[in-house]
Amino acid sequence: MNLSIAEENYVKAIYKLQEGDTAVTTNALAYELDTKPASVTDMAKKLKEKQLIDYEKYKGITLTAEGRKTALQIVRRHRLWECFLVDKLAFSWEEVHELAEELEHVRSEKLTNRLSEYLGNPTVDPHGDPIPDAHGRMAKPRPQTSLDQANAKRLVVTAVTDQSVALLAFLNAKGIRLGTQLEIVAHYEYDNSIEIKMKHAPSLTISEQVAKNIMVRPV
Amino acid sequence: MNLSIAEENYVKAIYKLQEGDTAVTTNALAYELDTKPASVTDMAKKLKEKQLIDYEKYKGITLTAEGRKTALQIVRRHRLWECFLVDKLAFSWEEVHELAEELEHVRSEKLTNRLSEYLGNPTVDPHGDPIPDAHGRMAKPRPQTSLDQANAKRLVVTAVTDQSVALLAFLNAKGIRLGTQLEIVAHYEYDNSIEIKMKHAPSLTISEQVAKNIMVRPV
DNA sequence: AAAATTATTTAGACAAATCTAAATAATTTT
DNA sequence: AAAATTATTTAGATTTGTCTAAATAATTTT
Ligand SMILES: [Mn+2]
Ligand SMILES: [Mn+2]
Ligand SMILES: [Mn+2]
Ligand SMILES: [Mn+2]
């Protein structure tokens, strides 16, 4: 199956939006891909033809087993390139998504596997997302909660769910990265902001919106 | 100037075919890009519009200063990725061209420059071709001749001009690579074949066709 | 200098990926 | 259960990059 870059981007986006087995809607996919619903309908017909998705008019889209396999390969390449850029070329975590968005389309299993090996077969990318292995299997992520819901006091940052440049840059500015250890000092009921304390730094207060997008686990 | 992948491939091919200031013909370019002359004519109009080439009907194609600059950037990316694949991911020199053909289209100066730095700012690629620097300047290659025209006896291999998988695989099989030192043992006038001797190996005889595509310089 | 050949361009078509505007289906509100 | 709203699809265009077949220009042969 030889897919175009556009087709690969659709398959990946469907994978991302398809939580469990809920069908992905035309509008949601159009929004995710920054395109128009009419374009999504056109592409849905093509991807159905190629047996990568199940699709019936007005019923939404789900990946077939084949489509899921394809999506996992693309996600694997994307996340490995992100690791490469951060670990080897010293890019910052907010810079790599855009570049990986292009690098992920170089389809070569040999390249992908060599890259993985070169990086030490990493299991998570710079944003804490798991990397599928060559067979599409992902390590089950260790249990984690968003910082606003954490009840343990001493925590370690394991992932970031909103990966916008804006949030990542904010976290950089505050010295918060993957692996950062912190303690919850206080919850403020007024706006659900949270005061946290990291080693060797004064405590700081972050908004609920930020806290919701930081995943943590008890240390 | 935002170029498509197709446009980049054209610009690079024109650069490759344009020796000195001879205009590139429609047919030659079509052959190089494995497409049809009619398609080349269409694209020539577009690239002229974008001021990357000079082009008049029936008069052939030459790059403008802007076009040459663009071409050098693409060549730089291509050759740096080839170095990466060989030096870091242990690919063989005959495998990398095809992959670099895709990787070269990821346009990011920051990525390109970081990659170059990471590789130790190499000045030649795995085939002995010079790599333009960030300003498009290439180290003037040290004087070299093809093996069939060499007169010195003790030589070192500096580049390969035909970079087909077939020739590169042949050279692998015979243990000939960049930096290999060899002596010319004999020229056979019958078919212009050449007998060479490398250290720690019995001498071997190579055809004129092979010799023509190996560049050497006195050791 | 004609005639023949080769090179190049033009005309018209097609597939991929997208769009807008209009039509239709599904869902929600009243 | 109508009416109103929202979601989705269809119809018809557009752009990019390509093609084939026919026309024209340039070059070579006779
Ligand atoms: Mn992408
Ligand atoms: Mn990521
Ligand atoms: Mn290319
Ligand atoms: Mn090369």
H/E stretch holding A96 reads helix A96-103
Separation CA A106–CA A162 (nearest Å): 26
Q: Give the least confident one: A16-20, A184-188, B101-105.
A: A16-20
Residues 6-25 of A with CB under 7 A from strand D: 25
**Residue boundaries of the structural domains of chain A:** 5-63, 145-218
Across all strands, nucleotide nearest B39 (CA–C1'): D18
pLDDT at B153: 84
CA distance B33 to B27: 10
What is the pTM (predicted TM-score) of this model? 0.94
Alpha helices in B84-214 (DSSP H): 96-103, 109-118, 165-174, 208-212
In whole angstroms, how far apart are CA A123 and each of A117, B86, B89? 11, 25, 19
* Contact between residue B178 and residue B157 where contact means Cβ atoms under 8 Å apart: yes
Q: What integer best gives the mean pLDDT of chain A?
A: 96
State which CATH number among 1.10.10.10, 3.40.640.10, 3.90.400.10, 3.30.70.2200 fits the domain covering B5-63: 1.10.10.10
Q: What nucleotides of chain D have any atom within 7 angstroms of a protein Cβ? A: 7-12, 16-22, 25-26
How confident is the model at residue B21, as a pLDDT? 82
| Three-class SS of B153-167 | CEEEEEEECCCCHHH
Q: For A212 and D12, how far is CA from C1' in angstroms?
A: 46
What are the Cα distances from residue B177, in Å, to A66, B2, B101, B183? 42, 38, 22, 14
Contact B104, B156 (CB under 8 A): no
- Strands (DSSP E) along A137-201, which ranges? 145-146, 154-160, 181-188, 193-198
The two three-digit tokens of residue A87, written as one number: 């670990």
- Residue B20 confidence (pLDDT) above 90: no
Q: Which residue has the tokens 């006091």?
A: A153
Structure tokens at B17: 């075919």
Tokens for A211?
């806290």
- CATH superfamily of this structure's domain B145-218: Ferrous iron transport protein A (FeoA) (2.30.30.90)
% pLDDT > 70, chain A: 100
B106-137 pLDDT per residue, tens: 999 999 999 999 999 999 999 999 999 999 99
Residue A205 has what pLDDT?
97
pLDDT band at B93 (very low <50, low <70, confident <90, very high): very high
> Looking at CA atoms only, how far is residue B95 from chain A in angstroms?
10
pLDDT in tens, B142-164: 899 999 999 888 999 999 999 99
Would you say the C-beta of B58 is within 7 Å of strand D? yes
